[in-house]
Chains A and B, each alone.
Chain A
């Protein structure tokens, strides 16, 4: 049983999605119970995976018992276990929130949600480049449908852009995979790392072209500067639980960059070592600048949060661009914090919008909210966490990031990171004071906020203080993960030991 644990984060959502498909027009209650139970199980499973991975051992699960590098493998190391745990935690908050009524606005919300989880977890666990493509497609197709959930003009329009852009991205992904396969003759990432270390010189150009093309695809997913324009519109239009789940989608791009480039283009890659790192560093800084401007210019709370998400993307990518072990460990801590808190903010925005009636989440004067005191408290906590003010986890994450910058990197990163934080404070305090203090009139209807919505938000928000209280163990784990990533030999040995190094 324990050896099959690795495949469960992929198999369980698939099974649940199939069961939900049978019950597509069935009882709402049954669907909700099944979906929440399954997601909760997923949290337990992924916690077990994190404990297993924390021993430092890298294990793989050979599907159909085809040994690597010939078969498809799922690989469990510290990084993938952490990412799976993050995605299932976020999903649990979202799915509980959705049970308050968002899930019945269209058909089969829960089934699609589980399929999306299948794609996300699969992308985190796979050790095979083509399989990564397949899981990307699974999660994209589910995300297209989820983005459209409930319908409406804004959603359709942003979905057209999102779908067309991602289809073009998929085409690029295939071209890149094809080029890399043509040049190295393998699709297994560990095997590719071995083969690139003794690559004939005449193929170096081909590998470089393929790898940089792949970087374009991953940065489209991660929303790096020239490729982020789809994000604010799509995230602002998506239904709240979906937008919150999408908070992890950009992290998939970041994970893919981290995984693929540290493994394949590490020290052992010779002339191709650290390929693309310069690009990521400078573009990450530019992303920070653009997102800061976007935060200040947003006129809608949801759009504002989408730009805050972009700031976090820029920060995380800068961590990859710095490349040192300290930077990677800092970025992993920040990643855990930003994913969960941004998710909570998206959910909170929906609750605020629902209370304000016609004004919605637009940052304009509106009617008084019946539950403004408790909502404003939650908004305040989330805002402090997301912009990185002490005492919550954002501050710690940013300090770790800034501490990791070395030499001239400090000169660039510090002002940009601090200015983006300042812009976040200005924008969020403007939004908050408009929402809660400049409100007037309004009838005193005491419409209650669903307890499920509160549970979802509280679950995600609570992680921020928890990340501070357990900062020691979390950052130790992040540090160990970064060291594991810096030594791709361990990864390669774990996968290819049975085949004698696979020459």
Chain B
């Protein structure tokens, strides 16, 4: 189970990291979401993985699950939700105000196309 858990967390964070580094806001938001999933899974496992362990000591059982990570991960999930919601609204607002959805606010592809068009027009005028 440990290796499955580790591989899942690793793949999630790798995908999240890749998407976060993209140039447009939508993949970035999705990337941050994936990253927060990976982090939540990681937090969940930080007390060690146990199966069928009770979260509260019931007197007889020695093999208990660590309850603290569960409490922490709950907090982290709630905060993550709030942050994601905010990031989405911000991305939409940026799209509206800047006229494009690039993280740095410049649409390089459109800019290149415009310069090319200008050059063609100049050629024709000549």
Say whether A associates with B.
yes
A-side residues, CB < 8 A to B, are: 130, 134, 137, 141, 144, 148, 151, 153, 156-157, 159-161, 163-164, 167-168, 170-171, 174-175, 177-179, 181-182, 187
Asked if B83 contacts A170 (CB within 8 A), the reply is: yes
CB distance from B72 to the nearest CB of A (A): 6
Q: Are A171 and B43 in contact (CB under 8 A)?
A: no
Q: Is the CB of A168 within 8 A of B98?
A: no
Q: Are A174 and B90 in contact (CB under 8 A)?
A: no
0/1 interface trace, chain B 37-64, chain A, CB 8 Å (1 if under):
0110011001110000000000000000
Name B's A-contacting residues (CB within 8 A). 20, 25, 28, 32, 35-36, 38-39, 42-43, 46-48, 68-69, 72, 75-76, 79, 82-83, 86-87, 90-91, 93-94, 97-98, 103-105
Shortest CB-to-CB span from A108 to chain B, Å, is: 15
Closest Cβ neighbor of B28 among chain A residues: A164
Name the distance in Å between A338's Cβ and chain B's nearest Cβ: 30
Residue contact B90 to A182, C-beta cutoff 8 Å? no
What's the minimum C-beta distance from B118 to chain A, rounded to whole angstroms?
24
* A164 and B20 contact, CB distance less than 8 A: yes
**Does A179 lie within 8 Å of B46, measured CB to CB?**
yes
Offer 23 A-B interface pairs, CB within 8 angstroms, sorted by A.
Answer: A130-B75, A134-B75, A137-B79, A141-B83, A153-B98, A156-B98, A157-B98, A159-B90, A160-B25, A161-B103, A161-B104, A163-B87, A164-B28, A164-B32, A164-B87, A167-B87, A168-B20, A170-B83, A171-B32, A175-B42, A178-B69, A181-B46, A181-B69
Q: Give complex CA distance A64, B36 in Å.
A: 30
Q: Residues of B contacting A182 with CB < 8 Å? A: 46-48
Contact A144 B86 (CB under 8 A): yes
> Roughly how many angstroms separate A137 CA and B81 CA in the complex, as a whole number?
12
A160–B90 CB distance below 8 A: yes
Of A148, A161, A167, the residue contacting B83 (CB under 8 A) is A167
Whether A156 contacts B47 by the Cβ 8 Å rule is no
Given contacts A178-B42, A181-B69, contact A164 B103 (CB under 8 A): yes
> Known interface pairs A141-B82, A144-B90, A175-B39. Does A181 touch B32 (Cβ–Cβ under 8 Å)?
no
A156 near B103 with CB under 8 A, answer: no
Q: Give chain B residues whose Cβ lies under 8 Å from the Cβ of A161.
A: 103-104
Interface contacts beyond A153-B105, A175-B39, A175-B42: sample of 11 additional A-B pairs, CB < 8 Å, sorted by A: A130-B75, A156-B98, A159-B90, A164-B20, A168-B32, A168-B35, A170-B79, A171-B32, A171-B35, A181-B46, A181-B69
The docked-state distance in angstroms from the alpha carbon of A178 to that of B104 is 32
Residue of A nearest to B106 (CB): A157
- Given A163-B87, A178-B42, A178-B43; A156-B75 close (CB under 8 Å): no
Closest chain-A Cβ to B17's Cβ sits at a distance in Å of 9
Q: Which 5 A-B pairs have the closest CB atoms?
A: A178-B46, A182-B46, A157-B105, A174-B39, A178-B43
Output the least CB separation between B64 and chain A (Å).
14
B98 to A: closest C-beta gap in Å: 6
Min CB–CB distance A209 → chain B (angstroms) = 13
A131: nearest chain-B partner, CB-CB:
B75
Contact B39 A153 (CB under 8 A): no
A170 to B39, CA, bound (A): 10
Q: Whole-angstrom distance from the CB of A270 to the nearest CB of chain B?
A: 23
Q: CA A187 – CA B71 in complex, angstroms?
A: 13
A168 to B21, CA, bound (A): 11
In the complex, are the beta carbons of A130 and B72 less than 8 A apart? yes
User: Are B86 and A163 in contact, CB atoms less than 8 angstroms apart?
Assistant: yes
Could you say which of B32, B76, B103 contacts A174, with CB atoms under 8 Å apart?
B76
Docked CA distance A478–B65 (Å): 45
Question: What residues on A are CB-neighbors of B93 within 8 Å?
Answer: 148, 156
Min CB gap A327→B, angstroms: 35
Residues of chain A contacted by B82 (CB below 8 angstroms): 141
* Shortest distance from the beta carbon of A461 to any chain B beta carbon, whole Å: 35
Contacts of B75 in A (CB 8 A): 130, 134
Give the distance to chain A from B76, nearest Cβ to Cβ, in Å: 6
B12 to chain A, nearest CB (A): 11
A175 contact set on B, CB distance < 8 A: 39, 42
- Give Cα A148 to B86, complex, Å: 12
Give the docked Cα–Cα distance between A153 and B95 (Å).
Answer: 11
Query: Measured between C-beta atoms, what is the minimum distance from A106 to chain B in Å?
Result: 13
The distance in angstroms between the C-alpha atoms of A137 and B32, with both chains bound, is 15
Q: Is the CB of A160 within 8 A of B79?
A: no
Considering the complex, give the chain A residue whose CB is closest to the CB of B75.
A134
Q: How far in angstroms is the closest Cβ of chain A from B91?
A: 7
A398 to B4 CA separation, bound complex (whole angstroms): 55
Within the assembled complex, what's the spacing in Å between the Cα atoms of A224 and B93? 30
Most chain B CB atoms below 10 A, which of A153, A159, A160: A160
Name B90's contact: one of A153, A163, A168, A187 (CB within 8 Å).
A163
Give Cα A174 to B79, complex, Å.
11
A156-B87 Cα distance, complex, nearest whole Å: 12
In the complex, what residues of A have CB within 8 A of residue B83's CB?
137, 141, 167, 170
Cα(A196)–Cα(B88), bound, Å: 41
Chain B residue with Cβ nearest A137: B79
**Chain B residues in 8 Å Cβ range of A187:** 68
Q: Which of A151, A167, A179, A187 has the most CB of B within 10 A?
A: A167
A144 to B90, CA, bound (A): 10
A116–chain B nearest beta-carbon distance, Å: 15
A141-B83, A163-B86, A164-B20 known; A174-B43 Cβ under 8 A: yes
